[in-house]
Amino acid sequence: MAGGSEKSMKALKEVWRRVENSLCADCGKPEPDWASSTLGVFICLSCSGIHRNIPSISKVKSLKMDHWDDAQVQFLAKHGNAVTKATYEAHIPIYYYQPNYSDCQVLREQWIRAKYERKEFTEPGKQLLYSDGVKEGILWKRGRDNGQFLPRKFLLSEREGCLKYFTKQDAKEPKINVKVDVINATFQPVKIGNPNGLQITYLKDNKTRNIFVYHESGKEVVDWFNAIRSVQFHYLKVAFPIASDNEIKNRLTRNFLKEGYMEKTGPKQREAFKKRWFTLDHRRLMYFKDPLDAFAKGEVFVGSKENGYSVQKGLPLGTQGNFSWHYGLTIVTPDREYLFTCETETDQLDWIAAFTSIINQAMTPQEYA
């Protein structure tokens, strides 16, 4: 720890050791070793970079390498994460997505700006741009067949409980009209190739359809994301009047449990294994020829162990199909066994862990249906 009187360094260590300051104030990452001398919060290296981009609000310093004078240490001691959160996070809407350290940059940056720069959560009942039940605007949407991103008008309506998009600005009829309760939205910057890339997934005739969009403004795309959650929340409150707010919150948009390439073979298990992009969205395992395909080539339902589902390391003895990857896994269902291979042992173990976490959960009445 650099510079400062021995007394102030000792005091800094004491404040830093408080339980409330053991996680980053913004993303929850353990053992933050930076702090904001103007806000009084303890933050991780990654969030400190975002704070540094808002110099009018936050001045950040390393707790290990920078000099802290007595006044700054006293300020930290008086504030800290608990006191500061009580001010800046006092009135967060229940549906607002609070990102953690594994979430992408745009979500974390807009969360930090919403708290400290725009002070969106300091007053009760504040009218927020994503909470008034209707949102209309342009998003750049990837063409299903040509892969080109073109501007499209989107309309989200709480009153109608749906999301629409129009191919032309003045079009009367929407190209799609989707009920909000079948929508999932998840940020996919790497897959889409844009830091503000958002994947909107919905069910149509019990098939999953993907739309890939982005907006140049990080704030605008995160506002769309939270507007979808807000409309979903109010729709589900009406549909399930006895459900608690937390139960409904758990049914809003969710991140996929895991995505990546595996090889798979067909039901006869004698065909060559083909490389496919897999998405595990709770109990739906979908596979695509390409990560940006609009429709899945197929889906596998992953039930619970009480219903005869399990995942096993390796392939059954005597598997005949040709495969180029050698880290196999088998999903056993009441109807058949599904065989997959992974490129690396790490991938294999990660997929097994993801499937195990789902199989170990009891199924809900909706999942039985």
What does the buried/exposed string (b/e) look like for 18-52 if buried means 16 or more CB atoms within 10 Å of the residue's CB? Answer: eeebebbbbbebeebbbbbbbbbbbbbebbbebbe
Distance CA 43, CA 27 (A): 8
The predicted structure's pLDDT at residue 206: 78
Average pLDDT, the chain: 92
The predicted model gives 279-301 an average pLDDT of 93
Q: What is the DSSP string of 241-308?
A: TTS-HHHHHTTS----SEEEEEEE--TTS-SPPEEEEEEEETTEEEEESSTT-SB-SEEEE---GGGT
**Per-residue pLDDT reduced to its tens digit, 84-111:** 999 999 999 999 999 999 999 999 999 9
pLDDT above 80: residue 1: no
**Per-residue pLDDT reduced to its tens digit, 114-147:** 999 999 999 988 777 777 788 999 999 999 888 8
Strands (E), the chain: 34-36, 42-43, 60-62, 134-142, 149-157, 162-166, 176-179, 183-187, 198-204, 207-214, 258-264, 274-281, 284-288, 298-301, 310-313, 327-332, 337-342
The predicted structure's pLDDT at residue 294: 93
Sheet order of strands, 274-281 included: 298-301, 284-288, 274-281, 258-264, 337-342, 327-332, 310-313
**Domains of the chain: residue spans and CATH:** 1-117 (1.10.220.150), 134-250 (2.30.29.30), 258-364 (2.30.29.30)
Instruction: Band the pLDDT of 290: cuts 50, 70, 90.
Output: very high
Per DSSP bridges, beta strands 327-332 and 310-313 are: antiparallel
pLDDT above 60: residue 3: no
The predicted structure's pLDDT at residue 305: 92
The predicted structure's pLDDT at residue 4: 55
Report pTM.
0.91
